[in-house]
Amino acid sequence: MKALLCLGLFFLLPGALLAAPAAENETLQFFAEEAQVSAAVKRSQKVAEAPASAYVITAEDISSYGYRTLAEALQSVPGIFSWTDRNYSYLSVRGFGRPGDWGNRVLLLINGHRMNDNIYGSFSPGFDFSLDMASVKRIEVVKGPGAALYGDNAVFAVINVVTWTAADAAPARVQAEGGSYGTHREFAELSHQFKDDWQLYGAGSYRRMQGQDLTYPALTDANGGHTAYNADREESYTLYTSLSRPGWLFQGNINNRYKQIPTGSYGDTFNNNGSYTVDSRSFLELSMTDRQVLDAVKLSGRIYTDWYGYHGDYISGSPMTNQKDSAKAFWYGEELDARLTPFGEKNPLLLGEEAEKTALGRQNLYIQGGATLLNDNRTEYRYAVFAQQEVQLLDPLRLTAGLRYDHYQSFGGNLSPRVALVYTPWRPSTFKLLYGTAFRAPNLFERFYDAPLNAEIPNPNLQPENIRTYEAAWEQSFGRTASASLSYFQNRIRNLIDQVTDSVGNSQYVNSDNVRTDGVELAVKAAFTPDFSGHLGYCIQSTRLVGGDRLTNSPTHLATLGLSQRLARGKARVSVETFVISDRTTTAGTTLPAAALLSVSVRAQPWWESLTLYAGVRNILDAAYSVSGGLEHTQADIPQDGRNFNAGLEYRFGRPHARP
Amino acid sequence: MPVPERSGRIRRLWAVILFTLLAAGGPAASAAEATSVAAVLSSEIGPYQEALKGLQGEMPDVSAFFLTRGEPEIPASARVIVLFGSKAAIREYPDGAVLVYAMASGVMLRTKRSVKISMLPEHRTLLSDLRIIQPELKRLGILWVSPHFKTYASELSEAAKAFGISIESSQMDDESDLPEHLRRLYGKVDAIWLVPDPLLVNPKGLPVFIEFSHANRVPLFVPTGGLTDQGATAAVGPTFREMGRLAAAAAKKALKDEAQESTIYSSNVEIIINKTAAAQVGLKIPEEALWSARQVLP
């Protein structure tokens, strides 16, 4: 009898145990089924409904994959790759990345504040970026022309970097790390939440890199050698602070970077560690967001002041001369937007204006102990008005139309229209048809940099270059944990501002060629489980001069694949990322082979949740990877870093803690 | 004078006839009721089966249609349609029918002739039970994504004043904002109440709540018992069967054209406590709460 009972229990018990989990799973299963419907019913605008091709890099992505710079993070975005010429870092977006254009065809914002300077229209996404990546909460990348809302520089993309606030951060946090090439970096962050929702946040960092000894066979020093020793040092600091409460933000930022130039650019004496550049950037801004002033009117606006400084020492010639090149700019401005709903909440109208004055735009060039070659001072103003109307044509069909008029003291006016049709037949799928134009105004450097001794002549009559973009996109959600997008894009650039060399060897910026790009982009993001996620990006494109050759530095294929896995019951994380680039031509006419780079990043909290250890190895296979040199370089290509690593620790004082 | 025996027999006969008529009238009334009411369920998984049992316990002959088996053939005579789950709730139904819908937290029907059976407990019942579980509760945090919870949050905030509890609540645009909003709650709340928002209670959002609760020692209270063994501290809410029963009560009122609330909250709730999760967040459960609970998980 007892045996029968045991036998019965033997068969019944597993069934009972199995039954219990089924009941628990069914509760979650119930909510999962409900979520599919709720997501379809929810009406708030999401990335899928935005009238643009948008991509978001989160803080979790940044820490998981160990992105040290904005450039490294942006390289995870389909269609974007970054490089360094050992002085500055650059971006290529959808096949267009001119060596030496200093990123002036991409608009960079920090919490909505424009960061492109008023001399070169530039920003640098490398280690000289204005923020330490530990301060970054989110990076929003909107590809395509954004001039209808943002104006100048928003040609290929608008990138908005969003920082942490006291609401997100622990009261204090510190990081210390070391790495290859004699690098060390220190970071500190403080935050405090006051009563009445006031939040104070501050972060600062210091980084120093001793650098590498770099070999360029095309260059020769005074002793016949081809290696630059002790000529790659870099030192930088950043400081950022914000005081905010819901709807208001006061922010300020200072950054400064010193970098030696090891590449002998601009004819500098090779293997002379006296050539260097120093760049400084700072701003102050007060902004308000969505202040309800009337029933159907919300106001947003900002007032700001900015400063940019550049100084370069260039050692060249025999006997050696030291050319001191510098630029300073100071500008201030305001912007006011009104969001109205005269046609109902579903059909908002955005009206805006902005005005800016460059009170100081100075460029200097002189020879130490010698003549002044350039002393140019300019003041300029610009203003703009814009409007954008969204119309819900049918329940699943939304139209966005925008128009912006910019007026520049230098060249007059420019109109930038934009139209987007977004069709969401069922919530997981969105189809978009986008059309827009953008422009890049010729900057002070391109128009007025006058140094005949260096064979550089100005072009005050330079006109803006214009781009027209067509895009068709399909975005698909797979439940709540995965999404994919596929898009076809076509860019047509007219009056491209490019640096050319005339018959007597003078270089000058002119409106030259027309360029056309056709391409297809694929982006996939998935959280396979709560602990395992990944992203995949692929871009195939063709960028050519109209009626001519493929553009230099324009790879046909670009691909990235990232995978991240939490381990050890959530106390550790390992992330792997691959970047693949196909062959491309250099400005010198040579061809660079395809390259594949593999990086690994590890984070762990082995003892306490407040202490995180992290380490990363980039280009772990030590693959040979070079980029095109610019016109200022003798060498056709500039090799990028081989295998390199960094390792550090982070300590949070107080909660909340963050898991690896 | 004694009643003649023949009169007594006649009275007994009339009593039997009357009783028989009444007894027959019950099923007849029930049958009439059944054809006037139809039930549509989004799925056949356990919660829906439980809800249907609750409905049919009060209205045994109601026809039930599962969307997983195809298009429901709702009788033309149906004056009240009881809907379980959002998939059932958002479908088109005959204009004249009253819709009673339950287990559809992410949906709010705008038709005048609809009654919602909420998955949330009645406000005072919830606050009272939470106080039993956590006597020192003074600040309660609530987050949601689906806009329909805004009214509940403000009603709860009003009711909480009588308990000396303040509600810290905010609506998120998207589930991806969850970590940021949870961090904002830290230090401002003694516990978090997870509303049955399907856009939050899912394989991605729930672990974030659980992780935050454990890492920062903030009790997490959930509305359904099936979530406590995922790591929540305790559940306070109506069972699925109770929701079915409330749907039946609302359907009966609708058949009689009686006025009723557009949203019905249950006061008949169950408490399920997870002792391990409670210990992890440093919460000592009082004896009274353990005795009140329908189930205590070790």
Contact A30 B104 (CB under 8 A): no
3-state secondary structure of B217: coil
The answer to whether residues B141 and B235 belong to one domain is yes
Nearest residue of chain B to residue A192 (CA atoms): B184
Cα B46 to Cα A31: distance, rounded to the nearest angstrom? 12
A98 phi, psi to nearest 5 deg: -85, 125
pLDDT band of A46, cuts 50, 70, 90 = very low
CA atoms within 13 A on the CB side of B8: 4
A248-276 confidence digits (pLDDT tens): 899 999 999 999 999 998 888 899 889 99
B259-272 confidence digits (pLDDT tens): 888 899 999 999 99
Residue A8 reports pLDDT greater than 60: no
Cα A629 to Cα B172: distance, rounded to the nearest angstrom? 47
Show the domains of chain A with their CATH numbers.
45-238+249-269+281-653 (2.40.170.20)
Mutate to test the interface with A, among B204, B243, B272 (most CBs of A within 10 A): B204
**What mean pLDDT do residues B93-112 have?**
83
**B109 inside domain:** yes
Structure tokens at A635: 């060498």
Cβ atoms of A410 and A380 within 8 Å: the answer is yes
The answer to whether residues B107 and B138 belong to one domain is no
Residue A407 reports pLDDT greater than 60: yes
- Which among B85, B173, B212 has the least Cβ separation from residue A34? B85
User: Is residue A650 within a helix (H) or strand (E), and if so which, with residue range?
Assistant: strand A644-653
Residue A233 reports pLDDT greater than 50: yes
Q: Percent of chain A having pLDDT more than 90?
A: 60
Cβ atoms of B23 and B241 within 8 Å: the answer is no
The answer to whether residues B208 and B146 belong to one domain is yes
Residues of B in contact with A34 (CB under 8 A): 85-86, 103-106, 198
Burial of residue B157 (number of CB atoms within 10 Å: 0-12, 13-18, 19+):
middle
Helix, strand, coil percentages, rounded to 5, for chain B = 45, 20, 35
pLDDT band of A564, cuts 50, 70, 90 = very high
CA distances (Å), origin A619, targets A267, A582, A640, A644: 31, 16, 10, 7
Cα A80 to Cα A58: distance, rounded to the nearest angstrom? 17
Burial of residue A654 (number of CB atoms within 10 Å: 0-12, 13-18, 19+):
middle
User: Number of residue pairs across A and B with CB atoms under 8 Å?
Assistant: 124
The answer to whether residues B208 and B257 belong to one domain is no
The answer to whether residues B195 and B104 belong to one domain is no
Asked if B186 reaches chain A (Cβ–Cβ under 8 Å), the answer is: yes
Q: Percent of chain A having pLDDT more than 70?
A: 91
Residue A5 reports pLDDT greater than 90: no
3-state secondary structure of A34: helix
**B21 inside domain:** no
**B25 inside domain:** no
- Which among A30, A655, A657 has the least Cβ separation from residue B45? A30
User: Is residue A526 within a helix (H) or strand (E), and if so which, with residue range?
Assistant: strand A515-529
Contact B226 A28 (CB under 8 A): yes
Residues of B in contact with A33 (CB under 8 A): 42-43, 45, 85, 87
Asked if A24 reaches chain B (Cβ–Cβ under 8 Å), the answer is: yes
**B2 inside domain:** no
Contact B226 A38 (CB under 8 A): no
Cross-strand partners of A423 = A397, A431
pLDDT band of A151, cuts 50, 70, 90 = confident
Nearest residue of chain B to residue A38 (CA atoms): B106
- Which among A41, A167, A659 has the least Cβ separation from residue B106? A41
* Closest listed residue to residue B193, CA positions, set B134, B265, B256: B134
Mutate to test the interface with A, among B108, B146, B189 (most CBs of A within 10 A): B146
**To the nearest whole number, what is the mean pLDDT of chain A?**
88
pLDDT, position A7: 39
Residue A338 reports pLDDT greater than 70: yes
Amino acid at B104: A
How close B296 gets to chain A, by Cα (Å)?
15
**B6 inside domain:** no
Contact A41 B90 (CB under 8 A): yes
pLDDT, position A51: 63
Asked if B150 reaches chain A (Cβ–Cβ under 8 Å), the answer is: no
DSSP state of A550: B
**What mean pLDDT do residues A131-138 have?**
94
**B183 inside domain:** yes
Task: Please give the angle made by the CA atoms of B121, B122 and B128, to the nearest 5 degrees.
Answer: 90
Where residue B133 sits, what CATH number does that domain have? Answer: 3.40.50.2300
Lowest pLDDT segment from A45-49, A151-155, A311-315, A371-375: A45-49
Contact A530 B146 (CB under 8 A): no
Contact A32 B203 (CB under 8 A): yes
A578-614 confidence digits (pLDDT tens): 999 999 999 888 999 999 999 999 999 998 888 999 9
pLDDT band of A176, cuts 50, 70, 90 = very high
Asked if B223 reaches chain A (Cβ–Cβ under 8 Å), the answer is: no
How close B21 gets to chain A, by Cα (Å)?
44
B26-63 confidence digits (pLDDT tens): 455 555 555 789 999 998 889 999 999 999 999 998 98
The domain of B46 spans: 30-119+240-266
Residues 559-588 in A contacting B (C-alpha not used; CB under 8 Å): 570
Burial of residue B112 (number of CB atoms within 10 Å: 0-12, 13-18, 19+):
exposed
Residues 144-183 in A contacting B (C-alpha not used; CB under 8 Å): 167-169
Query: 3-state secondary structure string, A59-106?
Result: HHHHHHCCCCCHHHHHCCCCCEEEEECCCCEEEEECCECCCCCCCCCE
Residues of A in contact with B199 (CB under 8 A): 35, 38-39, 42, 480
Residues of A in contact with B86 (CB under 8 A): 34, 37-38, 41
The answer to whether residues B99 and B133 belong to one domain is no
Asked if B262 reaches chain A (Cβ–Cβ under 8 Å), the answer is: no
Contact A481 B90 (CB under 8 A): no
How close B188 gets to chain A, by Cα (Å)?
11
Asked if A292 reaches chain B (Cβ–Cβ under 8 Å), the answer is: no
The answer to whether residues B250 and B287 belong to one domain is no
pLDDT, position A507: 86
**Counting runs of H as helices and runs of E as strands, what totals does chain A give?**
5, 37
The answer to whether residues B125 and B74 belong to one domain is no
B270-274 and B295-297 beta bridge pairing: parallel
Residues 77-106 in B contacting A (C-alpha not used; CB under 8 Å): 85-87, 90, 103-106
Asked if B196 reaches chain A (Cβ–Cβ under 8 Å), the answer is: yes
**What mean pLDDT do residues A67-93 have?**
94
- Concatenating the DSSP letter of every residue in B50-98 gives HHHHHHHHHSTT-EEEEGGGSS----TT-SEEEEESHHHHTS---TTSE
**What mean pLDDT do residues B113-134 have?**
93
Residue A488 reports pLDDT greater than 90: yes
Cα dihedral B122/B123/B129/B131 (nearest 10): 180
pLDDT, position A597: 97
**B14 inside domain:** no
pLDDT band of B25, cuts 50, 70, 90 = very low
Asked if A608 reaches chain B (Cβ–Cβ under 8 Å), the answer is: no
pLDDT, position A150: 77
**B8 inside domain:** no
- Which among B86, B183, B206 has the least Cβ separation from residue A38? B86
pLDDT band of A39, cuts 50, 70, 90 = low
The answer to whether residues B225 and B203 belong to one domain is yes
The answer to whether residues B112 and B180 belong to one domain is no
**What mean pLDDT do residues B177-205 have?**
87
The answer to whether residues B279 and B176 belong to one domain is yes
Asked if B171 reaches chain A (Cβ–Cβ under 8 Å), the answer is: no
Asked if B207 reaches chain A (Cβ–Cβ under 8 Å), the answer is: yes
The answer to whether residues B144 and B86 belong to one domain is no
How close B43 gets to chain A, by Cα (Å)?
9
CA distances (Å), origin A21, targets A529, A531, B226, B230: 18, 21, 10, 11
Split into its structural domains, chain B has a count of 2
